[in-house]
Amino acid sequence: MNLSFNVEKIRQDFPILSKKINNKPLIYFDNAATSQTPICVIDCIKDYYEKYNSNIHRGVHSLSDEATSAYEDARNKVKDHFNIKYSEEVIFTSGTTHSINIVSNGFSKILTKDDEIIVSGLEHHSNIVPWQMMIESSGAKLKVIPLMENGELDMDEFANILSLKTKVVFLNHVSNALGLINPIEKIINMSHEKGAYVLIDGAQSAAHFKIDLQKLNVDFFTASAHKLCGPTGVGFLYGKKELLHRMEPLMGGGEMISDVTFSKTTYADLPHKFEAGTPNISGVIAFGRALDYLNEIGLEKIENYENDLLDYANSKLKQIEGLKIYGESKNKTSVISFNIEGIHSYDIGALLDKFGIAVRTGQHCAQPIMDHFGVDGTVRASFSFINTFQEIDDLFEALKKVKSMLS
Amino acid sequence: MNLSFNVEKIRQDFPILSKKINNKPLIYFDNAATSQTPICVIDCIKDYYEKYNSNIHRGVHSLSDEATSAYEDARNKVKDHFNIKYSEEVIFTSGTTHSINIVSNGFSKILTKDDEIIVSGLEHHSNIVPWQMMIESSGAKLKVIPLMENGELDMDEFANILSLKTKVVFLNHVSNALGLINPIEKIINMSHEKGAYVLIDGAQSAAHFKIDLQKLNVDFFTASAHKLCGPTGVGFLYGKKELLHRMEPLMGGGEMISDVTFSKTTYADLPHKFEAGTPNISGVIAFGRALDYLNEIGLEKIENYENDLLDYANSKLKQIEGLKIYGESKNKTSVISFNIEGIHSYDIGALLDKFGIAVRTGQHCAQPIMDHFGVDGTVRASFSFINTFQEIDDLFEALKKVKSMLS
Amino acid sequence: MTIENAQKDIIDNFLFFDDWTQKYEYIIELSKDLEFMSDNLKSEDNLIKGCQSKVWLHAEMINGKINFLADSEAIITKGIISILLNVFNNRKPQEILDSDMGFIEKIGLKEHLSPNRANGLSSMYKQIKFYALAFSKS
Amino acid sequence: MTIENAQKDIIDNFLFFDDWTQKYEYIIELSKDLEFMSDNLKSEDNLIKGCQSKVWLHAEMINGKINFLADSEAIITKGIISILLNVFNNRKPQEILDSDMGFIEKIGLKEHLSPNRANGLSSMYKQIKFYALAFSKS
Ligand SMILES: Cc1ncc(COP(=O)(O)O)c(C=O)c1O
Ligand SMILES: Cc1ncc(COP(=O)(O)O)c(C=O)c1O
């Protein structure tokens, strides 16, 4: 167990943790769906609206200067946090889904029907549906990296389907349904050898360990603020400059053009080309503050503590007879996806809620993984650095009661 | 003058109004770019993150129920406020720009090269560029309603270019650069007679008077929360059900599908089909609160008070020699767009800022209007119900000093 | 018995419980009362959208009254269906159309009414009303 | 005089002012010192992106030093260009590349450095550095 990690002190940063559910203290094990928000991030939003709310980039007045500076500071924070080379390679979006759609739409005019794209069998719907839409308009073919029995990617099969025809490979860094960490370094290198670009969906990884995008040499990367202690409605897309230049924007509007007449429009430079309209200004600024917060604690410490939580939870939950964990592996973030024999995942979730325990149940927007395991859904308990070992004990006790009620 | 309107009391709802700029009290005349935020809306955001932050729609736990209910309540508030028939006709977006792109993208697969679309010469870039992108992919032709000398739409010309070939007419309700209110009732009726659909960009109208969408019988309508006392990064699109059903979504992702395999995806019902990914949950809920706030004051009162402000400002500003107002008309919201002879708009804005007065200068994302008047830009002072008559006096005095410094 | 009285009975039954455990144990009990639904009725057409566990609802008009058959994979959902059918089964379409769901709040199951798509109580009620409307016109 | 000294001089001049009116009157004064730029140099190519008023910047290499000519439609922008050229005109490329813009903050014009695209001071400085880099390689 990790003694250097002062979880009680950290928990004081999160006002929601004093909430009672059904008269019991909230135990929040749905961190993979959305992270909770520390008070410094909430205050940052409040501060924005109370002190310098203004539209940005084109205002001549002080409020607009102040808001613009804060907004662009946030861009630099993202750049530094993920070790990105140029700040204009950071595009603010409304979230991972929006980011992926920018890329899939951008490629829909670049790819042809002779091209192929590769997706993993572990994807969130947000990293499947946009590419299906792209395929429809470009005619490119989709290949899927199959899963091995435990849910890990079958890398031999990946080597088989990867070819010079492959133009884009897209997969998540960590699977939201199972918590499996994919071997993205390997996948990026193998793909680049064939001349294919790689998009990594980091929605589930960025909160759990440090990521160095220059070192990874990945072509596109994206994450959502709301899973990183930040607010809803904001995320970012990293893309290599030369690729962003080649792609057409998903949306047109103010900010993203440099010249408009009715017959012709010239797009503005990066990053503005992809940031049409008034952005989520307060959200972007608060996202920057959230990254500061994570760095103040230290992602390495977070990673170690969460690994300890996961080990502990694994050892406890396995004591429950009939409980089956999906996607077991050494390379996992702190997520346990499970079922109990003969019981529907919904029933477990609904009753855990009565104990004040928030888990997610169902398909987790990843129907193909559920199909792989031949299940309708699972219970997913996702832990984070705001959780305690005691809470895992509480989950264990609650699960035993739930099981006896339902069988 | 409107005595029943207690502006001093209302100003206390806006924390930012106690801000000092260059040691002078902030005078905020940039309301058309973004509105300021009342404390109840700020508290609503704070409340969300402190008490029930959670991902929505698919969670089995109480927090998710609570957040989902609040989110869907906001949808009903938008429905009621704009007198929309069905709540599923309200799509939450990241703002007006996003909304317009949903429609232009949706129509890009419906229109053919034999079709025509009509735009007004008064549009914001957000209502021009998406349609240009659409034209490129559909081949449809773009016709422009020209402006009369004062900037009003030339309705005779509109009647001329409108034909059975016209499929969509899109224009703003109120022009952001000039504040002119367009005769949208007439335009909607004339368009419908030819079988054309109409999209009204309400970004500049919704804050200033009550709008009844069923009565207008318009096909699409959109506005941004950040111009309605709400937060940044959220807006809505209203569309008639049967049209929304016909359009393909702009983005793919979680929430918006009902069934996913790698070979096929079935879209979910309205409104989810167009709300891919985790939305701006706190933003949507706070948007609902902002509409409540406006209704607590009463839009009719706001409209009357703002008209009085406009009349007063008109009479004062015209006393300044060499000052020219663009877009004079009886049908205007409280916006004055002007230049002073021989002085660049930027210089005026930059110096007004030193007096604590925030105005916007430049093209206002409406280059075609600037071209119409043969100017490079204007100074735009946009008033709202948080402004006072005294502030207009201050603007008048400041402008006289600015003018003497610059000439 | 009118729908209103059936609802009152249920409220009375639930008043009896001191804590949520008893309440949910009762709901689980009720799930066992559901009339058997044969697999061939568990078709795509009878599937109700918007519930996390699969829920099937079948309706037939018999002597002017609607006969419902329903099932679900989840026990709690089944128990809740059972409550619903206690109220709405064998009713004339108009009775159903005139009804409301206020009693759900009174028995402390309000959370199941949330527009959250995980729990499908609102969807089930919508579908029941939909059938009532369809049969009232036929 | 080194760039640093030129910047110090400017800082000293600005220290002199008690209020913003005097400061901006001085900037407006300075705008009149700008060397004349002929219309044919005001080309698309010389236009600096990212300023609200049009700003043109032309550069030539003369005896190892860069000679700048610039103009703007807005007086305040012109005044600020004038300050910039006081510092950066007739310098060797390397001198410019080694410089920074700290002095702008010291003379209280920090707002003009904001990434806000309305005021283009950062864009102008970027363009000046860009020319310096280009000439240093040629
Ligand atoms: C008339 C008009 N349309 C569209 C927009 C774009 O709105 P947003 O930037 O919130 O997407 C604006 C905002 O400036 C506007 O005034
Ligand atoms: C792996 C993965 N990709 C994409 C997404 C979509 O993110 P968002 O809903 O923030 O757009 C999620 C969120 O659930 C995710 O877990």
- pLDDT tens-digit profile of A101-149? 999 999 998 999 999 999 999 999 899 889 888 888 889 999 999 999 9
Using a cut of 0.90, tell me whether the model's pTM lies above it: yes
CA distance to partner chain B, nearest, from residue A62 (Å) = 7
- Residue-level pLDDT at C52: 79
Query: Would the pLDDT of A1 be above 70?
Result: no
| CATH code for residues A42-296 | 3.40.640.10
For residue B57, the model assigns a pLDDT of: 84
pLDDT at C92: 95
pLDDT at A110: 93
Confidence at residue B3, expressed as pLDDT on a 0 to 100 scale: 56
How far apart, in whole angstroms, are the C-alpha atoms of residue A102 and residue A250? 5
Q: Which two tokens stand for residue B268?
A: 């979910």
Distance in Å, alpha carbon of D90 to nearest chain B alpha carbon: 28
Q: Which residues contact A140 (CB under 8 A, 6 or more apart)?
A: A111, A112, A113, A114, A115, A116, A117, A134, A167
* Confidence at residue D91, expressed as pLDDT on a 0 to 100 scale: 95
pLDDT value at D118 more than 70: no
Identify the band that residue C117 occupies on the pLDDT scale cut at 50, 70 and 90: low
**Which one of A57, A272, A278, A280 would you pick to mutate in the ligand 1 pocket, going by the greatest count of ligand atoms within 8 A of its CB?**
A278
Nearest residue (by CA) to ligand 1, atom 16, is B176
User: Domains of chain C by range and CATH?
Assistant: 3-136 (3.90.1010.10)
Mean pLDDT of chain A: 94
Identical fold for domains A7-30+299-406 and A42-296, yes or no, is no
Per the annotation, the verdict on A40 as an active-site residue is no
pLDDT category of residue A53 using cuts at 50, 70 and 90: very high
| Residue D119 pLDDT class (50, 70, 90 cuts) | low
State whether the beta carbon of B205 lies less than 6 angstroms from ligand 1: no
Q: Is the pLDDT of residue A260 over 90?
A: no
CB-based contact B355:B394 (threshold 8 Å)? yes
Cα A246 from Cα A267, distance rounded (Å)? 12
Say what the pLDDT of residue B254 is. 77
> Rounded distance, CA B169 to CA B117, Å?
6
pLDDT at A81: 98
Ligand 2 contact via A126 beta carbon (within 6 Å): yes
At C119, the pLDDT band (50, 70, 90 cuts) reads: low
pLDDT digits (tens, 9 = 90+) for B388-402: 999 999 999 999 999
Q: What is the model's pLDDT at position A164?
A: 97
Selection from C47, C57, C130, C120 nearest residue C96 by Cα: C130
Q: Is the pLDDT of residue D113 over 90?
A: no
Q: For A333, which DSSP code?
A: -
User: What's the average model confidence in pLDDT over A43-70?
Assistant: 94
Instruction: Provide the percentage of residues in chain A whose pLDDT is more than 70.
Output: 99
Contact between chains at A21 and B255 (C-beta distance less than 8 A): no
| Residue D66 φ/ψ, nearest 5 degrees | -95, 130
- Which pLDDT score is estimated for B237? 98
Ligand nearest the Cα atom of residue B127: 1
CB contact under 8 A, B94 and A365: no
Q: Say whether pLDDT at C115 is over 80.
A: no
Residue B312 has what pLDDT?
98
As its CATH architecture, domain B7-30+299-406 has Alpha-Beta Complex (3.90)
Does the CB atom of residue B124 touch ligand 1 within 6 A?
yes
Q: Check pLDDT > 90 for residue A256.
A: no
Q: Scan residues 81-110 of C and list those with Cβ closer than 8 Å to A.
A: none
Weakly modelled stretches of chain B, pLDDT under 70: 1-3
Residue A258: per-residue pLDDT: 73
The full set of domain ranges for chain A reads 7-30+299-406, 42-296
Residues A176, A194: Cα–Cα separation, whole Å: 28
Q: Could you give the CA distance from residue B86 to residue B80 in angstroms, rounded to a whole number?
A: 10
Query: How far is the C-alpha of B258 from the C-alpha of B262, rounded, in Å?
Result: 13
SS3 (DSSP) at C57: strand
State residue A44's pLDDT score: 98
Q: Do chains A and D touch (3 or more CB pairs under 8 A)?
A: yes
Neighbours of A387 (CB within 10 A): 24
**Beta-bridge partners for A378:** A362
**Segment D121-127 mean pLDDT:** 87
